[in-house]
């Protein structure tokens, strides 16, 4: 439980600083073609950051690390191979940045793609920091150290805020250059914080020993690689869904990419604060219990967190939907971010909130699959859900525009929850519900009351602010 609170506190602190970064960006850069260019350029490395930092690498690495006989040699072998692959990928993205830009910004015209290409190349190098941070985070989690990985994202946001303030008087293209450099500076600061924590936990000696060891750990690394890709894909549905929305939004009116970004940032707060924090802290305990053969203990822990998560996510979804306009107004409406931008982003946020509970609970059920080494099944569920996401997006983008893309994301969450619950086992799901039926009824009554009162408050609030 201490790990949950540490993760939640760190995520909250980082997200608060992240919102300061976002409303600073909205105020200085606004919602225009240059903000769209930056969000597209930052989207791909940020996608990997979200997926890796939300536990995908840890979920594949930790079970293999725990099982490895020679932990130092195993860690060094994984580090060198994956980092070399990531570095080569970043180099190729820099050399062929125009092709990468064309691949992630389908709807931009040729002139805009040409402007965006250098920014895409520069931001892509943050991916190297993403892997380094994910690797060190997994080792720190093994030693039950959650503080630095949880809080360090604030350093990225601080670096971006400072570069924004420095460049505030410059033209929009120069601001985007400064902001992109700030991303890399932030990654470097995060890395320094992780290295300091690693030395404090005396893990550096293990890695140095791994370099010196001649013993082979091929079987352990093979086990890791077999689990790694499915784990990454299985943990990324919500983020890939948002990424696909961004690709399709480049075909829509200027500002659509920015509206989706700002709304998704608010949506990700409760998802990260509750669902991701719980799953990251719960995973080592569940995995160890299952390894001991204590399935009942693991299931009891999962059940307790299921009800807490259901209540918190439901409350967040209702509040976020009813007060969406007020939230966007409070966070972003200033400077170049106008009233019309607030209304568009608020409507998208309200739609996104439909998918909050499904996406959050699906992570909890998927946790069981990762703990029982069923990463392949989790990846299969994600692939099916993303297939539905593509169908929903293509069906809804024409009649509903950018709002259709947001709705397709929410519907994808419902599909993923159904698939994850089915894989977890309907008997277990119904057992969890029956075990707390009285609590479920109490939660339903509380939520209904809050919904009614929240709706009244929202009406008064919107009326007060016009």
List pLDDT tens digits, range 83-112: 998 899 999 999 999 999 988 887 788 888
Biggest CA pair distance of the chain = 71
Cα–Cα distance for residue pair 241/302, rounded to 1 Å: 26
* Top-confidence residue, 18 or 280: 18
Cα–Cα distance for residue pair 350/45, rounded to 1 Å: 26
Closest CA to 430 of 240, 281, 299, 287: 299
Give tens-digit pLDDT for 137-174.
888 877 777 788 878 888 999 999 999 999 988 898 99
Confidence band for 256, pLDDT divided at 50, 70 and 90: confident
Give tens-digit pLDDT for 266-324.
898 888 778 877 777 777 778 777 777 777 888 888 888 888 888 888 888 988 888 89
Cα–Cα distance for residue pair 10/53, rounded to 1 Å: 13
399: which 2 tokens?
Answer: 């009649």
Give tens-digit pLDDT for 162-221.
999 999 888 989 999 999 999 999 999 999 999 988 877 677 767 776 666 656 567 777
- Three-state DSSP state, 440: helix
Cα–Cα distance for residue pair 241/388, rounded to 1 Å: 10
Confidence band for 458, pLDDT divided at 50, 70 and 90: very low
Give tens-digit pLDDT for 400-429.
888 999 899 889 999 999 999 999 988 888
* Top-confidence residue, 462 or 127: 127
The beta strand positions in 260-348, using DSSP E, are none
pLDDT at residue number 353 = 92
pLDDT at residue number 31 = 75
Q: What is the pTM of this model?
A: 0.67
First to last CA, the chain: 43
Q: Report, as an integer, the average pLDDT of 384-388.
A: 89
92: which 2 tokens?
Answer: 């190729």
CA atoms within 13 A on the CB side of 23: 15
Q: What is the percent of the chain where pLDDT is above 70?
A: 85
Cα–Cα distance for residue pair 353/320, rounded to 1 Å: 7
pLDDT at residue number 379 = 80
Contacts of 75 (CB under 8 A, 6+ apart): 65, 135, 139, 206, 207, 210
DSSP string, 40-57: HHHHHHHHHHHHIIIIIH
In this structure, what DSSP letter does residue 160 have?
H
Tell me the average pLDDT of the chain. Answer: 81
Give tens-digit pLDDT for 239-248.
677 777 777 8
Indicate if the pLDDT at residue 362 is higher than 50: yes
Q: Checking phi first, is residue 55 left (phi over 0); if not, alpha (psi -120 to 50) or beta?
A: left
Locus of tokens 């698939």: 419
> Among the listed ranges 7-16, 366-375, 442-451, which one has the minimum average pLDDT value?
442-451
181: which 2 tokens?
Answer: 């450099």
């Amino acid at each position: 439980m201490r790990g949950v609170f540490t993760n939640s506190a760190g995520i909250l602190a980082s997200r608060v600083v992240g919102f300061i970064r976002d409303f600073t960006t909205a105020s200085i850069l606004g919602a225009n073609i240059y903000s769209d260019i930056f969000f597209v350029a930052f989207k791909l490395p940020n996608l990997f950051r979200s997926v890796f930092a939300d536990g995908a690498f840890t979920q594949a690495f930790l079970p293999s690390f725990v099982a490895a006989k020679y932990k130092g040699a195993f860690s060094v072998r994984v580090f060198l191979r994956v980092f070399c692959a990531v570095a080569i990928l970043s180099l190729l993205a820099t050399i062929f940045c125009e092709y990468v830009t064309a691949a992630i910004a389908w709807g931009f015209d040729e002139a805009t793609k040409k402007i965006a290409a250098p920014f895409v190349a520069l931001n892509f190098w943050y991916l190297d920091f993403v892997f380094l941070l994910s690797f060190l985070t997994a080792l720190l989690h093994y030693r039950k150290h959650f503080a630095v990985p949880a809080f360090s994202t604030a350093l990225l946001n601080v670096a971006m805020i400072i570069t924004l303030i420095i460049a505030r008087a410059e033209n929009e293209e120069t601001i985007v250059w400064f902001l992109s450099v700030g991303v890399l500076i932030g990654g470097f600061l995060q890395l320094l914080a992780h290295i300091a924590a690693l030395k404090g936990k005396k893990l550096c000696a293990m890695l140095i020993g791994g370099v010196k060891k001649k013993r082979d750990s091929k079987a352990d690394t093979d086990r890791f690689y077999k689990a790694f890709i499915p784990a990454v894909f299985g943990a990324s549905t919500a983020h890939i869904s948002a990424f696909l929305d961004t690709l399709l939004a480049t075909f829509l009116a200027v500002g659509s990419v920015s509206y989706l970004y700002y709304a998704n940032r608010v949506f990700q707060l409760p998802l990260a604060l509750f669902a991701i924090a719980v799953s990251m802290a719960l995973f080592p305990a569940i995995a160890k219990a299952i390894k001991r053969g204590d399935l009942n203990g693991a299931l009891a822990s999962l059940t307790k967190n299921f009800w807490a998560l259901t209540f918190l996510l439901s409350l967040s979804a209702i509040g976020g939907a009813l007060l969406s306009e007020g939230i966007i107004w409070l966070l972003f409406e200033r400077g170049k971010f106008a009233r019309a931008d607030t209304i568009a982003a608020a409507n998208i946020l309200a739609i996104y909130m439909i998918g909050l509970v499904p996406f959050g609970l699906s992570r909890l059920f998927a946790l069981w699959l990762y703990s029982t080494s069923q990463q392949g099944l989790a990846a299969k569920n994600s692939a099916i859900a993303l297939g539905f996401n593509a169908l929903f997006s293509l069906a809804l983008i024409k009649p509903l525009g950018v709002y259709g893309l947001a709705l397709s994301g929410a519907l994808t969450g419902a599909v993923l929850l159904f698939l994850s619950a089915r894989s977890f086992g309907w008997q277990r799901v119904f057992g969890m519900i029956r075990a707390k039926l009285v609590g479920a009824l109490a939660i339903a009554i509380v939520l209904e009351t809050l919904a009614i009162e929240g709706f009244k408050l929202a009406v008064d609030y919107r009326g007060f602010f016009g």
